[in-house]
A = this chain, B = another copy of it.
Amino acid sequence: MDRPRYIWPDGKRSAACFSVDVDAEAPYLWANRAGLLPYLGQLEQRRFGPREGIWRILDMLDRVDVKGSFYVPSVVAELHPDLLPALCERGHEIGLHGHLHELVSETTDARFEAALDRSLQVFHAQTGIVPSGFRSPAWEMTPAMLAALKDRGLRYDSSLMGYDHPYQICGLVQVPVQWQIDDAIYFKFQGGGADRWPPEPARAVEAGWRDEFQAGRAFGQLFMITVHPWISGRAQRVAMLERLLADIVAYDDVWFATAAEIAAWHLSANEDRFVAEPGLEHLTAALEGGT
């Protein structure tokens, strides 16, 4: 009954953020880093993102007057050098997402750090901006990687799910994600025999997202939507996002903000609250029976 409740600015009841993982070719390059085969199927699917998808999403965001947080692997920024400048010009936040969309479970701390440094360099070179946030590919992190972000002056990470509002872990603000409100798990379909389920109609997903938003308002939740332009740039999905966002921004008691704004707010008003420990040593002790 008297559990601590997250405090949002101006007495807002809850918050919402629209985040975009601009993966494009990067995950395909990572998966095929040992050498590209001459197939075009996956690549062309993914290129729908930078060619069409992201521009549809940007136009849609203009129509509903929302600023989003766009996480861009630096190889994508290099392959599409008009991208980061366009995002900045239109007023959106840009954040880091690795160089080649390096999967945490398949990379090393050293490679992670090299990708981080390279992406900081690319972002600065293309836009003059030093991003304040990182989103990990596939939403996995280690304490060492969180420390690497902190060492480079980043303010927040947005990859974990320990709360459904911001919190602190490894000395960094965590702006949490949620699988439930990620587009890829419902809509991604690649072909070639790798898929485990078919794409859902956008309206079925919308219904669940609306329920999560409404129920989350009561709990003071951060409603962190995540989409990918090559996936959600398809027609019915853009239309669904526009319906959903248009309704969310109409709520006076919900704070719609970028992840960077949310991280800044957390530092200003909740810094000492909701502090989590990685606690790996403690768990190892529990495994060994000492608890």
Contacts and interface: CB of A to CB of B under 8 A. Distances in A.
Please indicate which of the listed interface residues A51, A162, A240, A279 has the most CB atoms of chain B within 10 Å of its own CB: A162
A163 B152 CA distance: 39
A39 to B, nearest CB: 6
A91 interface: no
Contacts of A216: 235-236
Nearest to A14: B235
A80 to B, nearest CB: 11
A29 B197 contact: no
B45 A161 contact: yes
A196 B195 contact: yes
Given A196-B195, A286-B78, A179 B189 contact: yes
A41 interface: yes
A86 to B, nearest CB: 11
Nearest to A281: B36
Interface in A115-172: 138-144, 146, 159-164, 169
A208 B236 contact: yes
Interface residues of A, number: 89
Copies in the complex: 4
Contact of A163 (B52, B211, B279): B52
Contacts of A160: 40-41, 44-45
A36 B284 contact: yes
Interface in A182-204: 185-186, 189, 191-192, 195-204
A203 B199 contact: no
A175 to B, nearest CB: 13
Contacts of A25: 283
B161 A44 contact: yes
Contact of A164 (B48, B163, B286): B48
A265 B98 CA distance: 42
A247 interface: no
Given A36-B287, A38-B142, A162-B44, A201 B207 contact: yes
